[in-house]
Structure 1
């Protein structure tokens, strides 16, 4: 039996949806708590949390316990300095607690499989797969990777990503360029973008598409059918980056995921 392009896309998207709706994925986040030097307690999370020059720390009351690296911890625990975009996950019963650094700030985000966003989630609509949006382009590498500061959906946060170069491609005879960041696997690329569908049929702030590593001659394939939403499309407890300046396409990319229902 021949597998159609649409069926191949559906298999990929079903797997993406399963990862997104996993019990401790970002849909399970129930809060975004910004740490300060003053100890604070948060609903559903044990202990008093704070941060300082040495990084985040928690002080647990008598009878409170978390699991760190598989071992029970009581009393006080120091996480040490967490690098930007880094995180440490600890456990508290069925809840996983993400301790992370985002844009120079330390945060705590509980992930509860019984959280309301995850329980209510019923899938993300998308455009029908269309081979028109599988586009061959060219990757032009910079002499040296360049740091690109970008904004965030979280007010006051700035992210800095390293860009190895620029992707150029043509749609209906018109050439467009997108700044690329490093992707999830060695050599691959990741692109944050908006387009003329943003805020209309697709999420307003951003979408992301992963691009396989360029060929030796710089040729790349950008499959906009696999453009996906970032966590901020689903939860207010996200710190997602915004696309770099110049990554707003003056065309309607009617492919990939739409706004969540």
Structure 2
């Protein structure tokens, strides 16, 4: 067991180091699909597409240089020309970008595998040219090229399903600057299985979805991976190549809660008899879990593990989109499901990236590293067992100790209060609080630490206790949804200090409070 954990920790350190590279996936800050002629406000020039070649004409005063991969291709072209004239063959250099096996790409595997099962072919390579005022490049189907750099920014040319695009990577990305590690479940040997790979002859082609809603790709399944579990036999389709390494993209029931919409697992090369090890502790997030500008392939339809895979990487707290870096927030909640279905979409619309957990069911340890706040909300404590209550107190204590905003709503405000009392006692304080504040009849109690100033979001403070906790109340008998429809209307109501007349307006004010703290 010690060796198992040690090897997993070494693997995880390697994974985090690979992600932290200056032009890795955490540096991606934009994606622009190209028309015949394209530019955008921050573009270094104008991009044109003609006969498959993409050319960048740089704006006056812009200084750009070829990226390392482009420089290697240019050097290789010169070597090929020398070889043709002298007849001497130089050592080959790979034009494909070196990618750590622990950092999955966001491409489909179709271009790298031939249709014949007894023959694998190397992928075609990009072509590059230097122009008088820029650069030109042509990609193979599904290809990518680290093309040129301007200051701290790298421009990457991509082909996805025949669509050409420019992806922007910035070594000074705010996401890269905030990165510490990818959260993960604790290593668990129960999620290691001995499986068997059965190869397709020929490989089978499938159409798959991607992380971009308007983009579909083709991928090839190399065969079926089968393994026995407590829930019975599981069979999933594997992509990649048996001679160089198989890959398993999969869904499971943790997706959308503690993990992203799907994850991937490197299976390595199967043994001669087809046997291989399937270790879900090494399941990782695709780049789309970190950035909105990835084109990651989704699993082939039906590739669903029929049990919760509480192993491998969790959903990362930080995410970069057109709105910039997100505001990650952890929310333990137990209200009725009808209300939850209505309210969940509000958070992202108002600018909060919520990870929602059920305090009674989601019993895994969640690190607060990376979260900008935590809330716990519920109207009935009877549904919680002793372990669930203790867990919520521990989480509230960690947030209070780390000076992270923490909010307790309804009956769950008790956990924030108890955590603060125990923490203050451990620190040697005697606040002399003999009785706790109770909400007025028909009103919801909201308790928060003094990292927040609720008055900035239009809330009236009804009580502040000697330990530093702040108390706010809201009437229960207000409608769920607001008559306001646009975010600008909610903001105008806040700025005008209008009364809160719906729970939707309440949620907007709470989001504004968290964002203001950040």
With the length of structure 1 as denominator, give the TM-score of the two structures. 0.91
Aligned to 2:220: 162
Structure 2 residue 299 is the aligned partner of structure 1 residue 243: yes
Q: CA deviation at 1:39?
A: 2.8
Aligned to 2:157: 99
Aligned to 1:67: 65
Q: CA deviation at 1:42?
A: 4.6
Aligned to 2:6: 7
The 2-side partners of 1:53 and 1:155 are apart by 27
Please state which structure has a larger fraction of its residues in helix. 2
Q: CA deviation at 1:53?
A: 3.4
Q: Secondary structure at the match of 1:4?
A: helix
Residue deviations 1:176-216, cap 9 Å, x none?
A: 11110005x9431001101011112111x210000021111
The 2-side partners of 1:195 and 1:232 are apart by 17
Q: CA deviation at 1:85?
A: 2.5
Cα pair 1:152 1:241 within 8 Å, conserved? yes
The 1-side partners of 2:205 and 2:231 are apart by 31
Structure 2 residue 310 is the aligned partner of structure 1 residue 259: no
The 1-side partners of 2:186 and 2:141 are apart by 37
Structure 2 residue 208 is the aligned partner of structure 1 residue 209: no
Aligned to 2:247: 190
Please state which structure has a larger fraction of its residues in strand. 1
Cα pair 1:66 1:74 within 8 Å, conserved? no
Cα pair 1:65 1:74 within 8 Å, conserved? no
The 2-side partners of 1:74 and 1:257 are apart by 47
The 1-side partners of 2:269 and 2:51 are apart by 38
Cα pair 1:67 1:73 within 8 Å, conserved? no
Structure 2 residue 188 is the aligned partner of structure 1 residue 130: yes
Residue deviations 1:133-180, cap 9 Å, x none?
A: 111011111121112221011021112122210101111050111110
Aligned to 2:289: 233
Q: Secondary structure at the match of 1:170?
A: strand
Aligned to 1:200: 257
The 2-side partners of 1:99 and 1:156 are apart by 19
State which drifts further: 33-42 or 226-235: 33-42
Aligned to 2:234: 176
Q: CA deviation at 1:127?
A: 0.8
Q: CA deviation at 1:40?
A: 1.4
Within-5 A mapping of 1:10-49: 10-43=9-42, 45-49=43-47
Task: Please report the RMSD computed on the Cα atoms of aligned residues, expressed in angstroms.
Answer: 1.9
Q: Secondary structure at the match of 1:15?
A: helix
Q: Secondary structure at the match of 2:9?
A: helix
The 1-side partners of 2:10 and 2:311 are apart by 16
Cα pair 2:27 2:170 within 8 Å, conserved? yes
Residue deviations 1:201-239, cap 9 Å, x none?
A: 111x21000002111111111110000000100111111
Cα pair 1:140 1:165 within 8 Å, conserved? yes
Task: Point out the structure with max Rg over C-alpha.
Answer: 2
Q: CA deviation at 1:120?
A: 2.0
Q: Secondary structure at the match of 1:162?
A: strand
Unaligned runs of 5+ in 1: none
Number of aligned residue pairs: 256
The 1-side partners of 2:174 and 2:153 are apart by 14
State which drifts further: 249-258 or 52-61: 52-61
The 1-side partners of 2:215 and 2:311 are apart by 29
Cα pair 2:182 2:313 within 8 Å, conserved? yes
Q: CA deviation at 1:4?
A: 2.7
Unaligned runs of 5+ in 2: 75-129, 318-518
Aligned to 1:87: 144
Cα pair 2:62 2:150 within 8 Å, conserved? no
Q: CA deviation at 1:62?
A: 2.8
State which drifts further: 206-215 or 57-66: 57-66
Cα pair 2:264 2:283 within 8 Å, conserved? yes
Q: Secondary structure at the match of 1:176?
A: strand
